Structure 1
Amino acid sequence: MKPLSVRQIRSILAGELIQGSDHVIIHFGAYRLKQIKKQNTILFSNKKITNWDALKKYFPLVLVTDQEFRKNGQLEELTVLKVKDIEEAYWKFVNYYRSLFQIPVVAVTGTSGKTTTKEMIRHILSAEKNVSSTNSSNNSRTAHLYYLLSIDDDTEAAVFETAVGEPGDILKAGEYFKPTIGIITNIGAHHLNYCKTLEAYINAKGEMAKILDHSSVLIINSEDHNTKKIDLSNYLGRIIKVGVDPSCHFKAEDIKYGKNGMQFSVQHLEKNYAVFVPGYGAHQVYNALAALAAVHEIGMDLSKAIEILKTYKNLNKHLQVHEGLNGATIIDDTWSLTTTSLEAALNVLSDVGKAKKKVAIVGTITDLGSWGYVIHEQAGEIISESDVDILITIGFHARIMADHLLKIGTNATVHSFNNSTLVFDLLKEIVDENTIVLIKGDMYSQPIIELASKLRKKQ
């Protein structure tokens, strides 16, 4: 955080100094007690705090409140600013702080690929610039203030992941970050427990266009079916399309698998560039296209960005290939699970596992609410279109995929388990060096993560 004095903050908020000093310097911000981790933090709160002893280790502390506060001689290192409305004061502070920095800020959303795309952008930009970014996939709305304040006078660019748990989440992120570049990687079916319908989820992702102004850039996947449904009629900024369609500003051609990644050619402004991106799958090409478009827009030479991209390290548990049980090839994709990422993973299984027996282990898709049955049936249909030889589902709801696959007809052998205990024993019997196994789950499914670990060969 750029250090600010209480005097500066008081001027911005039109606050009254109840106790403490105008000369205290603020280095951190919080709007919840549990967010206070360091001294010299400014806390915005309308709640009465009773246990000051627990907070003394974080003194000097600055409290901004719209509640009555009597000067307390026992709390000498506590500075208190009284404001008329705490909500209004908080957003004045947020808006003021963001206004201090005229830097490119990239916001990335999508059902799948947003963390990977964000990390690619961070990796490429970091070769030349000091970059602030979301940590891994920690994109909770409660972390927005923390990430905003990670920008300081040394920051030259920022890239933040903006997730959708419910409608309005991206709008709220926009109030903090005010991005200059927005990216929508793709839109599948997820978080329907709060969005209720696929249309509402698409609209929630489409909020990205609403948080960008007329001078901004929106980067979209040209071929994504649901992204095409977003109403962009009121968006006044530029649109950059990436994909394989001839209309794309960044167009991929000659896509093929290489050693540990994808090789392709990208066409931009009538020039062609050879690209290698670590990580398997055509979807990785789209992630790379969006990342290259973003960093080029920021001002990086495209040839240099492509060279740096070669050194990107694919994220843990994102379609990582290992030698494993009985000499089988194991594809560990236990980071997230949506129908979009399932389809991408099955394509990788097919492409990497040519001439091998293909086993897919799939867990439950979460955050679907009343749509759970329908989406798991859709997952079964996606599996039916793959060349999987053996399907193993783990979990009560995951069984819906298996049952639907059997209902519509399949040549695959199908097994369903309520937990992973018996799966390993089955795999010991059916896999060998001529087998490739995809294990697909999400970061919250500990049994599947543990199973993936057991399947991988110990070093």
Structure 2
Amino acid sequence: MNIQEIHKHFLESSGVSTDTRKIKKDSLFFALKGDNFNGNSFAKEALTKGAKLAIVDEREYATTDQIILVEDILKTLQELAYTHRKHLDIPIVALTGSNGKTTTKELINAVLSKKFKTVATQGNLNNHIGVPLTLLSMSSDTELGIVEMGANHQGEIQSLCEIAQPDYGYITNFGKAHLEGFGGVEGVIKGKSELYLHLIGHKGSLILNLDDPIQQKRLGSTHTYTFGKTEEAELKISYALAEPFAHIKFSETIVESNLIGQYNEVNLAAAAAFGSLFKIEHSAIKEALESYIPSNNRSQLIKNDKQTLIMDAYNANPSSMEAALRNLATTHATYKLAILGDMFELGEAAAAEHQYIADLAEQFHINQIVLVGSNFMKTQNSAICYASTEQFLETGLPDEVQAQLAQATVLIKGSRGMALERILNLLNVK
């Protein structure tokens, strides 16, 4: 069965399922494989639970007319997504970057949904599986798609662009993320710039932050829509942090967001630029940005009497960690506590980058620093250290630190694998 025939079945289905625990009735089940499972073995179960068809890539599992055999299940999913994207023929916005991708995507979606029926990447499903699933979640009612693209190796963004065929693109920044896979910061810049190169080659449009000189060097001859502090920007932005929330101003419109930290100001500005590019009223842009409430441990602000908790433990790399520490240092708090967890995927740079962050935290004169994880344990520091989140949970904070919590501003920042949200009960946060 060719991809056009599969797409015809897809259009007559309720969508795509990849997990038999969450089968949608009349869906197409794609038997994806993982390190510890073979989706082919679940094909019959998927049909029993209501799937219309199951698609497998191992002949021994193609035992009924409802099970379609293909050569490569992942490649077929990606080809189906590409076919569906071309079938819909709607504008696609793509974004990538080292930090702030998911927050910026949510903000752009909030703004553009004021005018269009949008579908955006759910959570951070932004890889070689997540991007196809996002495209396949779009229907004939969808007027505009917003696709987040993540990568940890060169060539991945290019591959995702070939599937999604974006018309508009934005890179949040180039930072010290996934250094192990990209082979250093220059590798990060090259890898993330694959989005721009795709758009240049396909005469797409770039949304460009004029305050970021690295991005400007990567541009060719293509249409851009610019924002920034400079007079040359098509959307001139003023940044004014009103502690603890990020505020911006554009065209006499002031946005008072629910996002903490100065590092979120450019994310707000990018979303405002997309709104302006798509000719959305400034009042609607303001309403969209001010109504967005962060969740999932991203830039969340939790207040408890006199205590302020900055929960930013969804992900971390040296660039985002530095930005979060700088933000904490500028807050006017009686007592500042930074709880920092290990940063992953740094490869040979891990030791130096963890030492840099430990040193930086001390330079900012934060009242108390707590470092969690095996990488931070190897650093030279004067902080309170725990080898793991589990040890932190078992040991707890020293009494003298615990006594300061009622009036503290606390930053929690670490890579997802550290699961630092588990320590909330130690901080008397419910």
The TM-score normalised by the length of structure 2 is: 0.83
Unaligned runs of 5+ in 2: none
1:176 is the counterpart of 2:160: no
Cα 1:92–1:427, aligned 2, differ >3 Å: closer, same or farther?
A: same
Shift of 1:310: 1.4
**In structure 2, how many angstroms separate the alpha carbons of the residues matched to 1:389 and 1:215?**
52
Q: Please tell me the residue identity of whatever aligns with 1:340.
A: S
**In structure 2, how many angstroms separate the alpha carbons of the residues matched to 1:440 and 1:24?**
43
**In structure 1, how many angstroms separate the alpha carbons of the residues matched to 2:74 and 2:99?**
34
**In structure 1, how many angstroms separate the alpha carbons of the residues matched to 2:82 and 2:409?**
52
Instruction: Select 2:5's aligned residue among 1, 10, 18.
Output: 10
Instruction: Select 1:396's aligned residue among 371, 374, 382.
Output: 374
Shift of 1:240: 3.1
Shift of 1:117: 0.7
Q: Which residue of structure 2 lines up, in the alignment, with residue 157 of structure 1?
A: 144
1:203 is the counterpart of 2:202: no
Instruction: Select 2:205's aligned residue among 197, 217, 229.
Output: 217
1:346 is the counterpart of 2:328: no
Q: Please tell me the residue identity of whatever aligns with 2:233.
A: C
Instruction: Select 1:280's aligned residue among 257, 260, 285.
Output: 260
Instruction: Select 1:188's aligned residue among 175, 190, 207.
Output: 175
Cα 1:149–1:323, aligned 2, differ >3 Å: closer, same or farther?
A: closer
Q: Please tell me the residue identity of whatever aligns with 1:220.
A: L
Q: Give aligned pairs, total.
A: 419
**In structure 1, how many angstroms separate the alpha carbons of the residues matched to 2:423 and 2:115?**
40
Range that drifts further, 140-149 or 44-53: 44-53
Q: Point out the structure with max Rg over C-alpha.
A: 1
Q: How does 1:24-43 map to 2 (within 5 A)?
A: 25-29=12-16, 37-38=23-24, 39-41=26-28, 43=30
1:265 is the counterpart of 2:219: no
**In structure 2, how many angstroms separate the alpha carbons of the residues matched to 1:24 and 1:223?**
44
Q: Which residue of structure 1 lines up, in the alignment, with residue 429 of structure 2?
A: 457
Deviation per CA, 1:47-95, whole angstroms, max 9, x where unpaired? 996776434314531648797999x6xx35x264789x98987665443
Shift of 1:388: 1.4
Secondary structure at 1:175's aligned position in 2? helix
User: Contact between 1:329 and 1:436, CA under 8 Å: does it hold in 2?
Assistant: yes
Unaligned runs of 5+ in 1: 1-5, 14-21, 407-412
**In structure 2, how many angstroms separate the alpha carbons of the residues matched to 1:328 and 1:68?**
60
Cα 1:69–1:337, aligned 2, differ >3 Å: closer, same or farther?
A: closer
Q: Please tell me the residue identity of whatever aligns with 1:251.
A: K
Q: Which residue of structure 2 lines up, in the alignment, with residue 17 of structure 1?
A: none
Secondary structure at 1:193's aligned position in 2? helix
Q: Which residue of structure 1 lines up, in the alignment, with residue 53 of structure 2?
A: 61
Q: Please tell me the residue identity of whatever aligns with 2:245.
A: G
1:140 is the counterpart of 2:127: yes
Deviation per CA, 1:352-396, whole angstroms, max 9, x where unpaired? 334x23221111111112221122123234324423132221122
Q: Which residue of structure 1 lines up, in the alignment, with residue 114 of structure 2?
A: 127
Range that drifts further, 276-285 or 206-215: 206-215
Secondary structure at 2:260's aligned position in 1? coil
Q: Which residue of structure 1 lines up, in the alignment, with residue 408 of structure 2?
A: 435
Q: Please tell me the residue identity of whatever aligns with 2:315.
A: S
User: Contact between 1:29 and 1:145, CA under 8 Å: does it hold in 2?
Assistant: no
The structure with more helix, counted as a fraction of residues = 2
Secondary structure at 1:257's aligned position in 2? coil
CA RMSD for the aligned pairs? 3.6
Q: How does 1:84-123 map to 2 (within 5 A)?
A: 93-123=80-110
Q: Please tell me the residue identity of whatever aligns with 1:54.
A: E
User: Contact between 1:358 and 1:389, CA under 8 Å: does it hold in 2?
Assistant: yes
**In structure 2, how many angstroms separate the alpha carbons of the residues matched to 1:454 and 1:380?**
22
Secondary structure at 1:136's aligned position in 2? coil
Instruction: Select 1:239's aligned residue among 217, 221, 224.
Output: 224
Secondary structure at 1:200's aligned position in 2? helix
Q: How does 1:325-340 map to 2 (within 5 A)?
A: 327-340=306-319
Cα 1:399–1:152, aligned 2, differ >3 Å: closer, same or farther?
A: same
User: Contact between 1:332 and 1:452, CA under 8 Å: does it hold in 2?
Assistant: no
**In structure 2, how many angstroms separate the alpha carbons of the residues matched to 1:25 and 1:215?**
33
Secondary structure at 2:240's aligned position in 1? strand
Range that drifts further, 189-198 or 379-388: 379-388
Deviation per CA, 1:134-183, whole angstroms, max 9, x where unpaired? 11223232222211111111001111211112212211221221111111
User: Contact between 1:330 and 1:455, CA under 8 Å: does it hold in 2?
Assistant: no
Q: Which residue of structure 2 lines up, in the alignment, with residue 414 of structure 1?
A: 383
User: Contact between 1:439 and 1:452, CA under 8 Å: does it hold in 2?
Assistant: no
**In structure 1, how many angstroms separate the alpha carbons of the residues matched to 2:10 and 2:406?**
69
Range that drifts further, 191-200 or 384-393: 384-393
User: Contact between 1:181 and 1:294, CA under 8 Å: does it hold in 2?
Assistant: no
Cα 1:344–1:296, aligned 2, differ >3 Å: closer, same or farther?
A: same
Range that drifts further, 95-104 or 188-197: 95-104
User: Contact between 2:43 and 2:56, CA under 8 Å: does it hold in 1?
Assistant: no
**In structure 2, how many angstroms separate the alpha carbons of the residues matched to 1:335 and 1:275?**
25
Q: Please tell me the residue identity of whatever aligns with 2:190.
A: N
